[in-house]
């Protein structure tokens, strides 16, 4: 399926995904196991706006973060003028990575290659005059990457042809627009390896009728029958779930325990989930915000970077989020286990996907975007090949 436009069977399979929900078929098995499809996945992420950090991690000049995006190491740094710059982490001399840590602060407001000492300013421009031995042309610089600040987060995009964030993302979920996203502060980060294709991880996020068997703890707090799905028409797909009576938040404890709201009062009785296609899964809880950044590593290996944010004013005397952490450690482990189990089943060459369940419209919305991206990327590759 690396060239779906030239494969009649693959084209037929993807066309079925694009049909209206009542007549559609899920993504075929091979998109979860085929290395050629994985290369399309990487191209898909490369052409998307990817969140890499909350703005609080870049709150002063010299602060930087490093994130993996589609096989590249991308650096985002705050300049002395408070503007953001982003570039690929690799010295233009011999490609040596310039940064060892995932985040930190450049106290001298400059970057020095640890191999031969070539220096750069915080915009990634090489100091050619200060390093004449390298014979660099004026203006030589690290390969730039676009970066924007939206919803309290920094997003980057590797593909210059991708439209600006607003045009690409389309309408925002209203609960994110109403939430106090800029007031967030990171409570904890956990990075997990899931031995499953990244699309299975996202599909699992896009439906909740597995709660009864997989997540009894979630079902007791947010019954899946009280959920719905919303397709905003752009890169965002969302859905909400009502909290059960007597429950004020999703935690081992039923109450907020003094934590201030992150969601607006209008959204305080719901859990509001949103996927920013392809791989940013978010869940706005009344008093905290879950962020899951999906990083495809191989056809059956996915890194999930799971962050839990609270309102900055929560971090005072007596703040103890352990009930939240324990609940999500258990729930995330349940998701990881079921996704890995499904991946083992998909390894069977004889397996064929069954139809959508009536409540899997959110999964279909995701599948449609994957199928459309595959067709577009394969068609573009075919056009380039014919032009050679």
Q: Which helix (H) or strand (E) holds 217?
A: helix 216-221
List of residues 6+ apart from 345 with CB closer than 8 A: 351
- Here the tokens at position 368 are 């449609």
User: How far, in Å, CA of 245 to CA of 346, rounded?
Assistant: 39
Stated pTM of the model? 0.93
Q: Residue 1's pLDDT is what?
A: 47
Q: Residue 170's pLDDT is what?
A: 97
Kindly list the averaged pLDDT for each block of 10 residues, start to end, along the chain of length 388: 58 89 95 95 97 96 96 96 96 94 95 93 86 78 96 97 97 97 97 98 96 95 92 95 96 95 97 98 98 97 98 93 98 98 96 94 97 86 50
Among the listed residues 148, 123, 154, the one whose alpha carbon sits nearest the alpha carbon of residue 55 = 154
Cβ contact 150:177 at 8 Å: no
Cβ contact 207:218 at 8 Å: no
Q: Tokens 């050619």 label which residue?
A: 128
List of residues 6+ apart from 195 with CB closer than 8 A: 300, 301, 340, 343
List of residues 6+ apart from 161 with CB closer than 8 A: 47
Q: What stretches of the chain adopt beta strand conformation (E)? A: 50-54, 63-69, 72-78, 84-88, 103-105, 111-112, 119-120, 144-150, 153-157, 184-194, 227-231, 236-242, 270-276, 280-284, 288-298, 301-311
Q: Residue 384's pLDDT is what?
A: 53
Which residue segments constitute the domains of the chain, with CATH numbers given?
Answer: 50-158 (2.102.10.10), 172-364 (3.90.380.10)
Cβ contact 64:52 at 8 Å: no
- Here the tokens at position 143 are 């390969």
Among the listed residues 290, 281, 238, the one whose alpha carbon sits nearest the alpha carbon of residue 263 = 290
Peptide bond into 278 cis (omega under 30): yes
- The phi, psi pair for 110, rounded to 5°, reads -150, 165
Task: Give the three-state DSSP class for 46.
Answer: helix
List of residues 6+ apart from 67 with CB closer than 8 A: 50, 52, 53, 73, 74, 76, 102, 156
Bridge partners of 333, per DSSP, are none
What distances in angstroms separate CA 381 from CA 69, 271, 318, 378, one per listed residue? 21, 40, 56, 5
User: How far, in Å, CA of 256 to CA of 259, rounded?
Assistant: 5
Tell me how far apart the 2 most distant CA atoms of the chain are, in Å.
71
**Half-sphere exposure in the Cβ direction for 273 (13 Å, CA):** 20
Angle at which helix 198-205 crosses helix 322-346, to 10 degrees, equals 120
Cβ contact 32:346 at 8 Å: yes
What are the DSSP calls for 71-100, one per residue? TEEEEEEE-TTS-EEEEESS-TTT---S--
């Amino acid at each position: 399926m690396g060239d779906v436009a030239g494969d009649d069977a693959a084209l037929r399979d993807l066309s079925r995904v694009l049909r209206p929900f009542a007549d559609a078929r899920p993504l075929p098995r091979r998109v979860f196991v085929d290395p050629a499809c994985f290369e399309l996945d990487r191209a898909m992420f490369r052409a998307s706006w990817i969140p890499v950090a909350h703005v609080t991690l870049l709150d002063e000049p010299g602060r930087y973060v490093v994130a993996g995006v589609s096989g590249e190491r991308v650096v985002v740094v705050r300049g002395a003028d408070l503007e953001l710059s982003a570039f690929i982490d690799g010295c233009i001399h011999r490609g040596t990575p310039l940064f060892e840590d995932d985040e930190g602060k450049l106290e001298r407001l400059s970057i020095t290659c640890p191999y031969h000492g070539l220096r750069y300013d915080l915009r990634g421009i090489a100091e050619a005059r200060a390093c004449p031995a390298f014979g660099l042309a004026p203006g030589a610089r690290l390969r730039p990457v676009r970066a924007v600040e939206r919803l309290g987060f920094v997003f980057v995009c590797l593909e210059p042809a991708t439209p600006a964030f607003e045009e690409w993302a389309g309408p925002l979920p209203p609960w994110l627009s109403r939430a106090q996203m800029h007031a967030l502060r990171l409570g904890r980060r956990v990075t997990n390896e899931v031995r499953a294709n990244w699309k299975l991880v996202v599909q699992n996020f896009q439906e909740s009728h597995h709660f009864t068997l997989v997540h009894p703890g979630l079902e007791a707090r947010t019954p899946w029958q009280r959920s719905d799905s919303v397709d905003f028409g752009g890169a965002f797909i969302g859905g909400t779930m009502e909290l059960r009576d007597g429950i004020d938040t999703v935690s081992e404890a039923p109450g907020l325990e003094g934590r201030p709201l992150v969601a607006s009062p209008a959204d305080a009785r719901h859990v509001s989930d949103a996927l920013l296609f392809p791989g940013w899964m978010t869940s706005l809880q009344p008093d905290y915000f879950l962020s899951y950044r999906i990083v495809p590593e191989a056809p059956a290996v996915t890194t999930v970077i799971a962050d839990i944010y609270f309102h900055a004013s929560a971090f005072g005397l007596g703040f103890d989020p352990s009930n939240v952490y324990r609940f999500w450690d258990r729930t995330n482990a349940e998701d990881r286990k079921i996704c890995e189990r499904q991946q083992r089943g998909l390894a069977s060459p004889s397996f064929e996907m069954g139809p959508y369940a009536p409540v899997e419209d959110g999964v279909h919305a995701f599948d449609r975007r994957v199928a459309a991206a595959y067709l577009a990327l394969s068609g573009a590759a075919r056009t380039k090949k014919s032009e050679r």
